[in-house]
Amino acid sequence: MEPDEPGGAAALHRGAGRPAGDHWTGTGWPGARIGDHAAAAVAALYSDHAVSLIRLAYLMLGDRAAAEDAVQDAFFGLYRHWDRLDDPGRALGYVRTAVLNGCRSALRRQAAGRKLALHPTAEVSAEAAVLSREERAEVMRAVRALPDRQREALVLRFYLDLPEREIARIMGLRPGSVRSATHRALRALGQSLEEAR
């Protein structure tokens, strides 16, 4: 189960079934034209899934602004290629893959300029949190130290709870390769957390 995308493709259906104007009102993005089917469909998808995708990108990047940019970029890519999309029902998978690709690019750019620092965690009350702030920071530091592919596999598996086949589709890998990446990532994570003690 993907915690933030309960509707998945079904949510897209709901979006696609709405009147176009329903999703346009108030968004005010430049270049939008009433009656533009692609824009309406992309806007509907954005309305339903943007926050969850920003969260996904945030886990990958550790930077909220960069995460929002990666998601904007992905939706713009979807808009540009909408006419090439075989099945609008697959749009969420497309944009999710694009977000991950965007995160990889962002990480490469950031690596050239500066080391990606762990984003300061928001205040979480000790009672509400399962992990202590230090523990969580330690886990996230170790996650972000993993190679891109391994980190993606972990986030898709343990945050979005996607099955291997879906992860493989998103990452452009075979299920066996996903399994391998997950295995290595968990092993590296375990070692990293062990060494931190």
Partner 1 sequence: MTLEDKLRTALRETAGEIPDDPPPPLRLSPLAVSRQHDRQRPAKQHGAKQPRTQRHGPRWPAWTAPLAAAAAIVGVVAVLLTVVHDRPNVEGPSGQGSTTASGLAGVPPYYVALTIRGNYPDPAAVDSTAAEVRATATGAVLARIAVPRPYVHFSGVTAAADDRTFILVAEEKNNPPEQPQAYYPASRFFLLRITPGAPAGRRVSLRALPAGFIPANSEVRDLALSPDGTSLATDIISGVGGSQLYVFDLAAGTRRSWSFKTCQQCSPSSGGLGLAGLNVDALSWTADGRHLAFVGPFTAKGAVGPGASSYAPPPVRLLDVSAPGTNLLASSKVALRWPSGASKRLGPTWRGVVITPDGRSVVFLEQLVTFGPTGKIEKVRELLAKASVATGKVTDVYKNLKPVGQFQQVMYTNTTGSALVVNYFGLGYGWHAGILRGNQFTPIPWNPHTVTAAW
Q: Which of residues 65-124 bind partner 1 (CB under 8 A)?
A: 65-69, 71-73, 75-77, 79-81, 84-90, 92-94, 97-98, 101-102, 105-106, 109, 112-113, 119, 121-122, 124
Give me the least distance between CB of 148 and partner 1, in Å please: 15
Per-residue binder mask for partner 1 (CB under 8 A), 30-69, x = binder: xxx------x--xx--x-x-xx--xxx-xx----xxxxxx
List CB contacts of 27: < 8 A, sequence separation 6 or more.
Answer: 43
* Residue 29 found at the interface with partner 1 (CB under 8 A): yes
Q: Report d(CA 103, CA 156) in Å as an integer.
A: 14
Among 35, 83, 115, 128, binds partner 1 (CB under 8 A): 128
21 vs 161, beta carbon nearer partner 1: 161
Count residues near partner 1 (CB under 8 A).
Answer: 108
Structure tokens of 70?
A: 């990666």
Q: Report how far apart the first and last C-alpha atoms of the chain are (Å, whole number).
A: 32
Rounded to 5 degrees, φ, ψ at 117 are: -85, 150
Structure tokens of 175?
A: 């299920």
Q: Give the type of residue at 93.
A: G
Give me the least distance between CB of 115 and partner 1, in Å please: 13
Please report, as residue ranges, which positions from 156 to 195 form the binding site for partner 1 (by CB under 8 A). Answer: 158-159, 161-163, 165-166, 169, 172-177, 179-180, 183-184, 186-187, 189-190, 193
Closest of 109, 2, 87 to residue 101, by C-alpha: 109
Per-residue binder mask for partner 1 (CB under 8 A), 131-160, x = binder: x---xx--xx--x----------xx--xx-
Q: Are 169 and 93 in contact (CB under 8 A)?
A: yes
Give me the least distance between CB of 170 and partner 1, in Å please: 8
Helix spans in 19-156 (H): 20-24, 37-61, 64-80, 91-113, 133-144, 148-154
